[in-house]
Amino acid sequence: MRQSQAFLHTLRDDPSDAEVVSHRLLARAGFIQKLAAGVYSYAPAMTRVLQRVSQIVREEMNRAGAQEVLLPILQPKEIWEESGRWERYQKGGQLFSLTDHKGAEMCLVPTAEEAVTTLVKRSIASYRQLPVNLYQIHTKFRDEIRPRFGLMRGREFIMKDAYSFDADEAGLRESYAKMRVAYQRIFERCGLKFTIVQADAGAIGGSTTEEFMVNADTGEDTILVCDGCNYAANVEKAESKLPAGETGGEPKPMHLEATPGDKSCEQLSKRFSLAVSRMIKTVLFRAVYAEREETVAVLMRGDLDVNEVKVANALGALAVDLADDVRVRAATGAEPGFAGPVGIKPGVKVLGDLSIQGMTNFLCGANKTDYHLLDVNFGRDVAMPEVRDLRKSKGGEGCPKCASGKLGETRGIEVGHIFQLGTKYSKAMSALFADDQQVQKPFVMGCYGIGVSRVAAAAVEQNHDKDGIVWPAPIAPWQVHVICVNPEDASQREAAERCERELEAAGFDVLHDDRVKVSPGVKFKDADLVGLPVRVVAGRDAKDGVVELKVRRTGAMAKVKLDAVTAEVKARLGA
């Protein structure tokens, strides 16, 4: 490709609205352009990257036995009501819905369980036709509460979604295992460093589920990884050994103490010279269910934090969020900051974290403004609530799986997510097949997503330097950047053209900067920004049949005879 002809327009300045590196560099290098919040146009260079990622995805999905389809992204409300997701997703405010000219409601879909289940149930009637795994690479829509970080959290994005249908759980586990392997191969082939973590199923549903996280400090997800074994989990899901707290000793009489203005454990710790782990904080939530809401009080040892996802799962709620002041006052009869289990209003559901077991003589809120209770004891002063693991694990805590490992806390970008769905959708949508006894059974499903556009952004997050992008070779828009320093010099022009011709003949995608009257500095700066893995510079040595070869990532530079260019480029690309 001749750069003089290419639709590739770099920007001299950083776009003012770009916050994260990938957004800034992709916009500046002319790969993407914003059209609306969370909605981007992909220029040719970006399209090439997406095609490369897609091609890798396609090859590995096909290798794993999946078959490609294209499902509608504009879908009728009916099938979403069948699965029960219409109301839930609309309530969550993340579903783009619209009304057609005759008043029928439709939506732009975030995932395609309904459509694929419909497709399969009308086609497959027998266990003998199973298993099947169908996938597509298609645009998806989510009306994000707050789109941000460029391609990282867009409202429109490209996703590969796959759906497996098996006759039983064992088949599902097999399909899932195949996908897991395929995903590992995909991200390895994309040249990304990633971690597989246990995850929470969230709105999609299902049991076993793992996420593929690209390691990046700017990631939106926090992950905990054991340094001693292979345990790794998203913080939403992570467990850990309970850190030791101070013991309270033999029960003493409970007493009420004035604590004007002390709303935090730290303030109380100071006032009473009491370890924070001797306190129980009572965190009030609003739990939302399909048909109702309730107030829930979670009792947590003072030095630990509540994991809201675990609370929602323990309750079977659609969502939980922190109670607002009105709800807090209704539940406690006091201003926020003084909630406690003793004397909390009836109707408030109380749940305890495992950490409160065995605590004695603890401090907690008195449900009375400016008062706390000291030396409170379960059984005597207040009933022991049902306890569950509701704690948010943190880096530095002990691994839940092995004896001596410690959890490290890092961040990641979720680029893939695989689920063992089970029969949630097939049951709801009456997607049935006959088994060998002619018994009608629901398909056992799995679903598997990869954020294709997010993979490209994550690759930039993970691979860049101060000068620009450093594309991993397998997903670079072109592998080689031939730069003709001065095309008006015949020897330079001929050398560059020869390199382009021979490299393309050898199967490489080449971008040839043949622009006339563009200064060398501009060409080099642009090349750094665009970030192709190998650069071939035809410059002042061209008259002697010599060009320079430079590796973008390392900066390593070598002078190479024209005859050897193809071989040398091959060596550097590992091809």
Q: Provide the binding-site residues for RNA, judged by CB under 7 A.
A: 10-17, 19, 28, 34, 36-38, 145-149, 263-265, 268, 281-284, 300, 302, 305-306, 308, 321-325, 328, 336-339, 365, 392, 467, 485-486, 488, 517, 519-522, 524-529, 537, 539-542, 548, 550
One-letter amino acid of 361: N
Q: Given the complex with RNA, which of 507 and 555 has the nearer CB atom?
A: 555
Strands (E), 377-513: 386-388, 407-422, 432-434, 440-442, 444-451, 464-465, 468-469, 480-484, 510-513
CB of 561 to RNA, least distance (A): 14
Contact 445, 163 (CB under 8 A): yes
How far is 139 from 347, CA to CA, in rounded Å?
45
Q: Given the complex with RNA, which of 189 and 301 has the nearer CB atom?
A: 301
Order of strands, sheet of 319-322, starting from the edge strand that comes earlier in the sequence: 319-322, 280-288, 293-301, 349-353, 386-388
Helix H, strand E, coil C: the string for 94-135 is: CCEEEECCCCCEEEECCCCHHHHHHHHHCCCCEHHHCCEEEE
CB of 36 to RNA, least distance (A): 4
Residues whose CB is less than 8 angstroms from the CB of residue 567 and which lie 6 or more positions away in sequence, other chains included: none
CB of 191 to RNA, least distance (A): 22
CB of 112 to RNA, least distance (A): 25
Residues whose CB is less than 8 angstroms from the CB of residue 263 and which lie 6 or more positions away in sequence, other chains included: 336, 337, 338
Q: Given the complex with RNA, which of 19 and 227 has the nearer CB atom?
A: 19
Per DSSP, the three-state class of 267 is: helix
CB of 173 to RNA, least distance (A): 34
Q: Given the complex with RNA, which of 322 and 567 has the nearer CB atom?
A: 322
Radius of gyration of the chain (CA): 29
**How many other CB atoms are found less than 10 A from the CB of residue 15?**
15
Cβ-based burial of 68 (10 A; exposed 0-12, middle 13-18, buried ≥19) = middle
Contact 251, 377 (CB under 8 A): yes
Cβ-based burial of 106 (10 A; exposed 0-12, middle 13-18, buried ≥19) = middle
CB of 409 to RNA, least distance (A): 16
Q: Given the complex with RNA, which of 195 and 369 has the nearer CB atom?
A: 369
Q: Given the complex with RNA, which of 10 and 423 has the nearer CB atom?
A: 10
Closest by Cα among 6, 46, 8, 41 to 26: 46
CB of 434 to RNA, least distance (A): 47
Q: Given the complex with RNA, which of 201 and 547 has the nearer CB atom?
A: 547
Contact 49, 40 (CB under 8 A): no
Contact 573, 532 (CB under 8 A): no
CB of 416 to RNA, least distance (A): 24
Find where tokens 């995909």 sit. Answer: 186
Closest by Cα among 279, 248, 284 to 266: 279
Q: Given the complex with RNA, which of 9 and 63 has the nearer CB atom?
A: 9
CB of 529 to RNA, least distance (A): 5
Q: Given the complex with RNA, which of 206 and 336 has the nearer CB atom?
A: 336
CB of 454 to RNA, least distance (A): 16
CB of 336 to RNA, least distance (A): 4
Q: Given the complex with RNA, which of 38 and 248 has the nearer CB atom?
A: 38
Q: Given the complex with RNA, which of 188 and 305 has the nearer CB atom?
A: 305
CB of 509 to RNA, least distance (A): 21
Q: Given the complex with RNA, which of 229 and 522 has the nearer CB atom?
A: 522
**How many other CB atoms are found less than 10 A from the CB of residue 329?**
16
Closest by Cα among 71, 84, 228 to 161: 71
Order of strands, sheet of 105-108, starting from the edge strand that comes earlier in the sequence: 74-76, 105-108, 96-99
Q: Given the complex with RNA, which of 56 and 476 has the nearer CB atom?
A: 476
Q: Given the complex with RNA, which of 264 and 357 has the nearer CB atom?
A: 264
CB of 465 to RNA, least distance (A): 10
Q: Label residues 261-295 b or e (16+ Cβ within 10 Å = b).
A: ebeebeebbebbebbbbbbbbbbbbbbbeeeeeeb
Cis peptide before 131 (omega within 30 of 0): yes
CB of 281 to RNA, least distance (A): 4
Q: Name the helix (H) or strand (E) containing 33.
A: strand 32-36
Cβ-based burial of 469 (10 A; exposed 0-12, middle 13-18, buried ≥19) = buried
Helix H, strand E, coil C: the string for 535-553 is: EEEECCCHHHCEEEEEECC
